[in-house]
Amino acid sequence: MLEVTRLHVFYGRAHILADVALSVDKGEVVALLGRNGAGKSTTLKSVIGLLRPADGEIRFDGEPIAGQPSHVICRKGIGYVPEERRVFSDLTVLENLEVGRQAPRTGLPSWTTDRLFDLFPNLAELRTRPAGRMSGGEQQMLTIARTLMGNPRAVLLDEPSEGLAPVIVEQMAATITELKRAGLTVLLSEQNLRFATRVADRAYIIEKGRIRYEGTMDALMADESVRSAYLTV
């Protein structure tokens, strides 16, 4: 469903991604693992169009999307949940959701605020609270809900578990499993291997802007040498 090949990305003169390739099938949850600064966020930002790749191809449903503006990519059905949350802090929860709202897609059940409040019960109580005055965990839930309002077919989650209390991490894992059950395709970046094992089917490991490993989550868990080479600090 989502296919990245030969992706090269620069920040100014710095060559950040070199020849990155990965693919995600429909309905799959894939984890992109790597240490700090490995290039996970850069990869996701390139897919959603916030960064312009210098070279390479990105296809969504077979259609090339590399280099297009992010709103066009989003409307094709890719949702993006940024690492730094980036909620609109002056806007209320409902208004944040409104910004994310896009027309329903034919043939797919669409997300409504009511459905989202079922999925994230604590948001329901905060409808009119400005997002700037919510806890980190609540904000993380809000960014996911906001992205779902666009009725995406695939979601990019940048480190969904980062900086969350253990009980919230638990909740986040449940949410992702829920999304998978609803038929969504998920590509998430993670440093937290335990979290990734809970939710992902397959994994890629990125290190210094290159893909170093590709395999099922089970295979990765069985391969102690790979994990110690690329993941433990």
Ligand X SMILES: Nc1ncnc2c1ncn2[C@@H]1O[C@H](COP(=O)(O)OP(=O)(O)OP(=O)(O)O)[C@@H](O)[C@H]1O
In the list Mg ion, ligand X, other proteins, none, the entry touching 38 (Cβ below 5 to 8 angstroms by class) is ligand X
CA distance 219 to 215: 6
Shortest gap between Cβ of 128 and ligand X (angstroms)?
A: 32
144 lies in the site for other proteins, by CB under 8 A? no
Shortest gap between Cβ of 230 and other proteins (angstroms)?
A: 29
Computed on alpha carbons and rounded to an integer, the radius of gyration of the chain in Å comes to 17
CA distance 97 to 113: 8
Shortest gap between Cβ of 158 and Mg ion (angstroms)?
A: 6
Which residue in this structure is represented by tokens 């409307």? Answer: 75
Task: Give 149 or 157: the residue with its C-beta nearer to ligand X.
Answer: 157
CA distance 204 to 141: 25
Shortest gap between Cβ of 174 and ligand X (angstroms)?
A: 23
In the list Mg ion, other proteins, ligand X, none, the entry touching 187 (Cβ below 5 to 8 angstroms by class) is none
Residues that bind Mg ion (CB under 5 A): 41, 83
Site for other proteins in 94-123 (CB under 8 A): 95-96, 98-102
For residue 108, give both structure tokens: 């797919």
Residues that bind ligand X (CB under 6 A): 11, 14, 16, 34, 36-42, 83, 191
For residue 60, give both structure tokens: 């969504």
In the list ligand X, other proteins, Mg ion, none, the entry touching 36 (Cβ below 5 to 8 angstroms by class) is ligand X
Shortest gap between Cβ of 232 and Mg ion (angstroms)?
A: 18
Shortest gap between Cβ of 230 and ligand X (angstroms)?
A: 12
* Contacts (Cβ under 8 Å, ≥6 apart) of 224: none
Q: What are the C-alpha distances in Å from 139 to residues 92, 133, 144?
A: 11, 9, 9
Among 21, 50, 108, 226, binds other proteins (CB under 8 A): 50
Beta pairing, strands 2-11 & 154-158 = unpaired
Closest CA to 113 of 140, 79, 152, 146: 146
Task: Give 57 or 83: the residue with its C-beta nearer to Mg ion.
Answer: 83
CA distance 103 to 75: 9
CA distance 175 to 173: 5
Residues that bind other proteins (CB under 8 A): 11-13, 48-50, 69-71, 74-75, 80, 82, 86, 88-91, 95-96, 98-102, 146-147, 150
